[in-house]
Amino acid sequence: MEKSYIQIPLRGIVAETVPDFDLYIFQAGSYVLYRKAHYCFDHDTLAKLVDSCVESLFIAKPDLSLYEDYRQRVLDGQPGKSGVLSYEGLFVDPDEVRKYYQIVDNFFSVEDESFIDGLEVDFPVFHHQGNDVFILPVFAGKEQGPWVLSPWALPADGELMIKKEDLPRYQAFLENKLVASATGETPVKRKAVLLREMSKLLVQGLLEDPSSSEAMKKLSNQITEVVGFILDNEEGFYGLMRIQAHDFYTYVHSMNVCTLSVALGYTIGLFKSPDLEMLALGGLLHDIGKCRIDPKIIHKPGKLSLNEFIKVKNHVKFGIEMLKESHDLPAEVLQVVAMHHERLSGGGYPLGLRNGQISLFGKIAAIVDAFDSLTADRPYKKGISPFQALDVLSKTTTDYDMDLMRRFIFLLGRQLGSPQNQQAG
């Protein structure tokens, strides 16, 4: 007689437990034994299933009572917590699962240290503990901000969260603090926390698009990981701190060039480190030489004089000098710094290199750098829309590698949706 099976939710099985029944998956029209009874169902097993988008498992019908006993044991193992485990969707109670996803969909985890110096915020801050989110007591009874947060108003454990709709406010709050910290007495460690937090938001802002495909979401996670790795790298992070202290716009631009270079790198098939990491580091540091240029010239509204333009062009030379002085960086990283203003036609600077003389990383950085410069908003100038920028760049056929450009347009097309949805700006 044919065996019959019962479908159970993947979340019905808790990681690092030992089910005493066989687990099956349904594949190509039949039930396949996935995990034998009495083997530990570990985190790796769960992660593989989640990665493959498996939401259900199956058990043999005669094992139903074993499964029910198992669930009871798991619930009993979590006294007073209604079977709640901390993360990875490993809740037993469906109401808790729903609650968990509501939190993930609506809230964003923020760093406690952003708030420790007693200051005003114009958005409410919440405390996430277990599977619950509570508004901090300091906000209670006062509907409208600004609110003053002090270190003793922050909880000792759990994490702080804000509503996702308040992300632009949080970003503005961090930006003000970062700009102030460049001249003030803020300790380096605190500046580093603010900078890392801000960088996290910038990468997220660039990559997050709720309408993007599963493939794009997966790619975004990988990009976030590579960029995160570079931010943990001493050279990358201290370089970025230096840029930020000098000029906030160049810092945002450097983060964008880093993120978009990695995205384009993935699109052309550079999946492995250290290639992606060198590309990311090059993107992060490509304009570091601007630290040696007078900010009045960098921020000058309108056209630069010939003399000023010559000075700005020196940022490439200064950048290489700075990086060679202090660090032993791979040649590929230095090439990004050296070549991001070279053009295939030979009309770029500083050396007027031509197509065959410019490295792949140099060509990637040139496209991404030009794109971000065209789309960036400045206090004196609104950037053009991403679609207009791609249009401008793709018409400059003699300057950029057109194969890379097509990949870049494809990448941003996936990221930005259809042109009709875009507002010209």
Instruction: Give the binding site for Fe ion (CB under 5 A).
Output: 287, 369
Helix (H) or strand (E) holding 194: helix 188-207
Q: Which is nearer to Fe ion, 96 or 369 (CB)?
A: 369
* Cα–Cα distance, 76 to 164 (Å, whole number): 35
Residue-by-residue DSSP string for 50-119: HHTT--EEEEEGGGHHHHHHHHHHHHHTSTTTTT--SSTT--SSHHHHHHHHHHHHHEEEE-GGGGTT-E
CA distance 8 to 187: 53
Distance CA 103, CA 51 (A): 21
Nearest approach in angstroms of CB 341 to Fe ion is 6
The CB-of-421 to Fe ion minimum distance in angstroms stands at: 28
- Output 342 or 369, the one with its CB closest to Fe ion: 369
Q: How far is the CB of 298 from Fe ion (least distance, A)?
A: 10
d(CA 310, CA 163): 46
Contacts of 67 (CB under 8 A, 6+ apart): 6, 8, 12, 19, 21, 59
CB of 312 to Fe ion, least distance (A): 8
Which helix (H) or strand (E) segment holds residue 163: the answer is strand 159-163
Query: 287 or 342, CB closer to Fe ion?
Result: 287
Q: Are 113 and 125 in contact (CB under 8 A)?
A: no
Of 22 and 369, which has the nearer Cβ to Fe ion?
A: 369
Give me 124's structure tokens: 């409410």
Cβ 313 to Fe ion shortest distance, Å: 9
Cβ 289 to Fe ion, closest distance in Å?
8
302 φψ region: left (φ > 0), alpha (ψ -120 to 50), beta (else):
left
Shortest Å distance, C-beta 226 to Fe ion: 19
Smaller CB separation from Fe ion, 63 or 369: 369
Please name the residues in contact with 238: beta carbons below 8 A apart, sequence gap of 6 or more. none
Closer to Fe ion at the Cβ: 197 or 369? 369
